[in-house]
Every structure is written in C-alpha cells, then in structure tokens.
Amino acid sequence: MSLRARVLGVGLWMPGFPNPASWVTGGPVAGADAPNAAAQAKMRRRSSLMVNMVTDVAAQASEQAGIPLSRLRVVVGSAFGELTTLVEMLEEREGDGLLSPLRFQNSVHNSAAGQLSIAHKNKSPATSLAAGNDTVAMVLLEAMTLLALGGDEVLAIVADEPLPGSICPGHETTPVAAALVLGQDAGGGTGAASAPPLAILEDLRQVRAAAASADRPLEVDSPCRAILPLISTLSTLGLGRSGRVAVSPPEDLRWSIEVRTA
Amino acid sequence: MSAAFPAYPAYPAYPISAYAAMNALGTTTRDVIASLHAGRSGLGACPLELPFETPTGAVPEPLPALPPSLSTWDSRTARLAVAGLDEILPAVRRAIARHGADRVAMIVGTTTAGLGRTEDAYHERRRTGSMPPDYELHRQHSFGAVMEALRRVTGIDGPCFAVSTACSASAKAVGHAQRLLATGAIDAALVGGVDALSQTTLRGFHSLQILSPVFCRPFSRERRGINIGEGAAYLLLERQGDAAVHLRGVGESSDAHHMSAPDPTGEGARAAMAGALAQAGVSPDDVDYINAHSPGTRLNDLSEGLAVSSLFGRPVPVASTKGCTGHLLGAGGATEAIFSIVAVEQGWIPRSVGADPVDTDLGLHVPTARMDTPCRNVLSNSFAFGGNNVSLLFGRAH
C-alpha cells in the first residue's frame, strides 16, 4: 500500500514569519512577533506559546483547506513538548513545593492536541508524538498512514518552543510551528475541502543523505526546522514539476519525500 | 454497533510474538505475572521525599545502570527502558534477522521522558547557580533521548518515535504500529511504554486532588484516588507468526470535554471500545473480560462504568490492575495490554485489587477474587488527559 496524500492547506508561524508566504518571500514581517491572537478566541486564556502557535497554524491550514477544525483527525509532533510550562513547574516546586493544577494538566505533551479538540468539540482521534530531529518525518508518516487506511482528512502539525536558557544554557533556538491539512490521494474523506490540492506528497522513505535535494542551508535552529524546505517547495512548485525534499536533518540516514504538482 | 461511531476499516489480526514487563510487581515478566495471578499488590512507601503521604508502585531496586556506551543518556526513565528490554531483546533480534532492521519499527509511549533527571539538575542549579556539567537536555530529558538509547540497544532502523498522549501513550503506540503494519510500511514493531516516578508528576496529581494518601481502590465505594507507579513494558507485533494471542482491533477517540477530567457521559470511552470491536468484527457478546482504565477516581469509575454498561448491557467481568501496580502513566497501556494477553493465553482474570467493597452503583461485575475462566477476547482501556481514549482488543488466533 503506497503512502500518498494531497496537500489541502498549509500554515506556518515563526517570529517575523506569520504565514507560509512570508517565509517563501524571504523577508521578516515587522511586528509579527506573536502567534495570531484571533485564532486563540476559543482557547483558554494564558495558554502556552506551544498551544498558541499550534492554534494559529492549525487555523491557517484548515481555513485554506476549507475544512473546519471540528472534523480533522489530528497528529501533533514536538521534540520537547510543553518545555516552558515544565520549567515554570520546576520553579514552583522550588517555592512552596505545590504546583498549579492548571499548569500541571496543561504540561502534558498532548496539551495542544487536547486543547484543540476541546475548543472545537472535535471527537476524532488525536495523537502527539516526538522523535527528536525526525519529528517532522514521523508526523508525516503517521498522517499519511492514517490516510492510506481511509477516513477523514488529517491535520499534521509540528511545533517546538525555544529551549529555555535556564535548563539549556548557550543553545538559542527559534520557535517554529507549521501545519498541513492532508487528504486521501483518491479524494474521499469528509469531502468538505473547498480548495484544489496544492500538491501531492508520496514516497516518504529513508535515504542516504546525498539523495535528497531541495534543501537549502537553514539558519533556523529548531527540531522542527526540517518542515521549512517542504513548505518552500509547496509554495514554489511549478506546474508539472516534482522534487524530493529532505524532511529530517542531514545525517547518515535521513527521511525525504517526493513532492509533485496535483 | 451504533451508527454514530465512525466506520473503521477492517484490519488483519497481528500476532504478539513476545512481551516483557517490569514494574512494582517484579523485575521479570514471570514475577510480574505470578504476582498478578496471586492478587498481590506491589504498592508501598514512596521512595521520593514529598510534603504529603501517598503510596507508589516503585520498581524494586537495584535498577541496573545503563551500559557505559549509553552513559550520556542516563536518566531513571532510560534505565527502566533499557532494563525492561532485556527479556524481549532476543525476540527483537530474531525479528530484525527475519525482516531487516529497516522493516522493524519502534514506538514507545512515555509521559515523563527524562523528567526526573531534569528535576535533579534544576535543583542543583538552584543550589550552585548553574546546571550540572554532565546534564544535557537533548540526551537526558527529551522524548527522543529514550528512543535513541533503545535504538542503539536494539539495532532497529525503521520508523522510530515516542508517543506522548499522557496516560494512553503506550496503548496509542500499539495503534500506531498496527497502522504501519496494515499499510505494509513495516513487517514488525517493538511497541511499549516507560515512565519513572518523579517529583513533578506526584506533586502535579496531588495538586489536582486526585492522589490517594492510602492504597488506591479502583471501583471500590471506599476509593480515595490514585497511586502512581513506574515501569516498562514491551510487545513485539509481527505481520505473521504462530503466537497464541493476536492484536485484533484498536479503537481511538477524543472526549472533547476537559483536559484532566473524563466526559461524565462516557461517550468517548464507549466510542473507543466500540471502535476496537468494529475493527475486529467482534460482537460485545464475544468479549470475556475488560481490563479497565480505572485508576481509582470516582469520576473515572462513573464515566467508564457508564461506557461499559451502555455498550455491553450484560455483566462482563471488569477489573483494574492499578491496585497492584499503581497508575503507570505512559507505561500503563502496554503493561495492561500484556495483562490482557495473559488473560487470553492462560485463561484467568485477575482480581481487581482494592475493589472490595465494590461500588455497586456502577452496575459492573468487578471480580474481587481471581476468575479462572477461558477468555476469547479481552478489551484493554486507556484514557488520558486531553480526553484521549484508546481501547485495544486482544484475542485468540484463528
């Protein structure tokens, strides 16, 4: 059974890059230093940066796909999860030793997936996974596996907060979040997608490092940075073109995926 | 099955070629199963210093150190993960030899990853002003770190990731593996779960006011909350094999209700169980035992009780093993999957330790003594923060 999916919507947020177009055109957008507040309307106040980023990119991708967030199966990937919340809890413990119950319940790795589900009354299955630098690849694998077996469209999200300097001194990273709405290659699913597919993804596999192309040097340091070449390719792919894009960092074995026009 | 539930594609059943568990009941699978069979509890005094009382299910010491080649990955979680692997490693290596390292996946559930190591390091930072020189976030804390240590021990080269959906994580891992097998992406998967006791987890559940100051009593009218445990558990799933017990179905759902409290209607739990049965084409009448999620809170017992009653409509035996092991969080789903497999394999249902006197308002058949009876199919439930529900169905090979 081949793994193949249609890309129906894309979302991206990094400081200065509030959407995929801003990243592709190359210039940071002045003032875009926080995720879109409008997307947070249904979420709890004082959510973590992780939840706010995920909410923003999920809204972008679902809007482009024309499928409401109440109907999408959800796969979230993050190498570190709710790391800022964890450090806040470590600080609390050093105080009177008691933790905030709200902070604790929102510290789990699947907090973003859970809060999205609650906010949009989405009872579809949701998962939350981590694979270090392979996190982007494993999220794509799970999303495309779900689609290969049938069912509704899948919202595939990757997100990581900056590493807190208090527990990881001297290693500054950039917060990155991105989302793809993926649908079955042969149609099907909810049938709710209102926009034509942006591209087809197929043939996700591990290859020796040299085999992957469309990989330009990236200054962004984040476990999720491997999503950026894919977003660039999705935005710039010419008609009838295809290309293999690396979706994990350069190591001996790396994951890559074929992208072609729909 | 109710038309309100989503249609599940029919998947083949996959044999469970091997399994291994380590937790408060013992450091070998044989000891763990023997203790469960005898109805013993592994709960005892908490080894961590806390400002409140609560029993825990700690793995008996000494816990072996990591091999020197993995010492930079050191955390209690990594030690549990690697030590728990010992018994199943020969079967994993045989699977790699049969299928190739890149055709074997490794998917492990964990909620804490190396949290305990980070707690210790952060405490030292408060005392000395800097994190310890041998502390490294990527290798000792991150979810990927435990996976990397396991990858190095096993030699697995296929898809490899941690699942972290809180207390359903390692049940969810079984579902991920089932799908990868169904698409043909892999031929075998080592799935499992691991979590270690940590200050943050214990204090966090205490803050939610659901941690019991005494031994937990799932399904009992005298319940006072949950106890936390630790452990590691693994199952080897293969595309083909002559194992006695197969994974027959996986059902998943979201409550969409609350981050830390179950939907009181039990709708999400019911959907997960119904999904697992539908996927396998098994009627509720053909299920002989339900390994319940019940960790010992009233809200969970009410929700899960409603879900079971409404789906089954008959007194199917329902037991919780958390009175023996404590709530193993990310390791719970895989551990209880093994208990469910053993029920099918050996023909007995464990007593629900702590349940007597049973909360009869639940309307459930909760065994307070072991039942020696054949089990054709067993459901194992795992429900989690975020309203994340998973139900696994294990049954005899056909």
Please give chain A's pLDDT, 262 residues, in tens.
679 999 999 999 999 999 999 998 877 899 888 998 777 666 656 799 999 999 999 999 999 999 999 999 999 999 999 999 999 999 998 767 889 999 999 999 999 999 999 999 999 999 999 999 999 999 999 999 999 999 999 999 999 999 999 999 888 899 999 999 999 987 666 666 666 888 999 999 988 665 555 444 457 899 999 999 999 999 887 656 778 999 998 776 789 999 998 8
Q: Which distant-in-sequence residues (6+ apart) come within 8 Å of A140 by Cβ?
A: A156, A201, A204, A247, A255, A257
| pLDDT tens per residue across span B340-362 | 999 999 999 999 999 999 999 99
Tokens of A179: 């989302």
pLDDT at B248: 97
Checking if the pLDDT of B36 tops 70, the result is: yes
- Cα B155 to Cα B151: distance, rounded to the nearest angstrom: 6
Tokens of A41: 């309307």
Task: Check if A106 contacts B (Cβ < 8 Å).
Answer: yes
| pLDDT tens per residue across span B208-264 | 999 999 999 999 999 999 999 999 999 999 999 999 999 999 999 999 999 999 999
The answer to whether residues A131 and A48 touch, using CB atoms and an 8 Å cutoff, is: no
Tokens of A48: 């973590």
pLDDT at B237: 98
| pLDDT tens per residue across span A164-203 | 999 998 888 999 999 999 999 876 666 666 668 889 999 9
Checking if the pLDDT of B153 tops 70, the result is: yes
Name the CATH architecture for the domain at A6-196.
3-Layer(aba) Sandwich (3.40)
Known active-site residue B160:
no
From A111, A118, A150, residue closest to B258, measured CB to CB: A118
Neighbour-count burial of A63, counting CB atoms closer than 10 A to its CB (0-12 exposed, 13-18 middle, 19+ buried) = middle
| Closest CA of chain A from B298, distance in Å | 18
The structural domains of chain B, with segments of one domain joined by +, span 14-396
Residues of B in contact with A140 (CB under 8 A): none
Listing DSSP states for B176-236 in one string gives HHHHHHHHTS-SEEEEEEEE---HHHHHHHHHTT-B-SS---TTBTT---B-EE-EEEEEE
As a whole number, mean pLDDT of residues B168-191 equals 97
The answer to whether residues B161 and B80 touch, using CB atoms and an 8 Å cutoff, is: no
Q: Find residues 18-47 of chain A whose CB sits inside 8 Å of chain B.
A: none
Q: Which distant-in-sequence residues (6+ apart) come within 8 Å of B303 by Cβ?
A: B262, B263, B264, B265, B266, B269, B383
Residues of A in contact with B142 (CB under 8 A): 79-80, 130, 132
From A3, A81, A127, residue closest to B172, measured CB to CB: A127
Residue among B141, B206, B327, B375 flagged as catalytic: B327
Tokens of B315: 């007194």
Tokens of A82: 């709710």
Backbone angles phi, psi at B393, to 5 degrees: -115, 120
pLDDT at A93: 84
A126–B166 CB contact, under 8 Å: no
The answer to whether residues A74 and A126 touch, using CB atoms and an 8 Å cutoff, is: yes
3-state SS assignment for residue B356: coil
User: B17 or A211, which is more confident?
Assistant: B17
| Closest CA of chain A from B44, distance in Å | 22
Structure letter (DSSP) for residue B281? T
pLDDT at B9: 57
Say what the ipTM of the complex is.
0.96
Known active-site residue B246:
no
User: Which sign, positive or negative, has the C-alpha torsion A176, B73, B64, B338?
Assistant: positive
pLDDT at A249: 84
From B119, B141, B207, residue closest to A99, measured CB to CB: B207
pLDDT at A46: 75
pLDDT at B11: 83
List beta partners, residue B21.
B233
pLDDT at B172: 98
- Cα B333 to Cα B339: distance, rounded to the nearest angstrom: 10
Tokens of B88: 């199943």
pLDDT category of residue B4 using cuts at 50, 70 and 90 = very low
Count Cβ neighbours within 10 Å for each residue of B73-102 and write b for 16 or more, e otherwise. bbbbbbbbbbbbbbbbbebbeebbebbeeb
Backbone angles phi, psi at B280, to 5 degrees: -90, -10
Kindly report the CA angle at B167 between B372 and B155, in degrees rounded to 5? 90
A118–B257 CB contact, under 8 Å: yes
- Superfamily for B14-396? Thiolase/Chalcone synthase (3.40.47.10)
Listing DSSP states for A148-211 in one string gives HT--S-EEEEEEEPPPPTTTSTT-----EEEEEEEEETTS-TTS---S--SEEEEEEEEEEGGG
| pLDDT tens per residue across span B81-137 | 999 999 999 999 999 999 999 999 999 999 999 999 999 999 999 999 999 999 999
- Cα B47 to Cα B57: distance, rounded to the nearest angstrom: 9
